[in-house]
């Protein structure tokens, strides 16, 4: 059975690129672009891994990550945080809130694929 990724991202070019990379590797990729309803979408879709952008409309990825870690059903769910801002503060916040991995934009296709594979093999 194909592994499922939920990509929570609002930039169309990034959605297209990541969806293509992972689909080609056999993943089922669902996408969601609204921070306000992201946690409910994670619960509804029950993905094997979440790729979560930091800057989303209506709610930050950090707030979403905190909610995911606070809920028993999603506290151990692998979450890859993506951000255009690679500042040390963002990385530290992501680690403090429980991100499994952290990646800055722009990223390489191979880096995304390798990271998602590693998160589901752990």
Per DSSP, the three-state class of 106 is coil
The predicted-structure confidence for 79-121, as pLDDT tens digits, reads as follows 999 988 778 899 999 999 999 999 998 999 999 999 999 999 8
Mean pLDDT, the chain, as a whole number? 95
Residue 37 domain boundaries = 4-121
Provide the CB-side half-sphere exposure for 68 (13 A, CA).
Answer: 33
Please state the pTM of the whole predicted model: 0.96
**pLDDT reported for residue 122:** 61
What average pLDDT does range 13-37 have in this prediction?
A: 97
The predicted-structure confidence for 39-89, as pLDDT tens digits, reads as follows 999 999 999 999 999 999 999 999 999 999 999 999 999 999 998 877 889
Question: For residue 41, what are the CA distances in angstroms to 2, 7, 33, 37, 93?
Answer: 19, 10, 10, 6, 23
Domain count along the chain: 1
CATH code (residue 11): 3.40.50.2300
């Amino acid at each position: 059975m194909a592994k499922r990724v939920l990509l929570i991202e609002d930039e169309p070019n990034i959605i297209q690129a990541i969806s293509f990379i992972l689909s080609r590797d056999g993943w089922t990729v669902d996408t969601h672009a609204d921070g306000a309803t992201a946690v409910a979408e994670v619960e509804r879709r029950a993905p094997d891994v979440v790729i979560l952008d930091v800057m989303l409309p209506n709610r930050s990825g950090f707030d979403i990550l905190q909610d995911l870690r606070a809920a028993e059903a999603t506290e151990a769910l692998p979450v890859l945080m993506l951000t255009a801002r690679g500042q040390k503060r963002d990385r530290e916040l992501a680690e403090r809130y429980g991100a499994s991995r952290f990646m800055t934009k722009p990223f390489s296709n191979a880096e995304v694929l390798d990271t998602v594979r590693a998160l589901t093999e752990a």
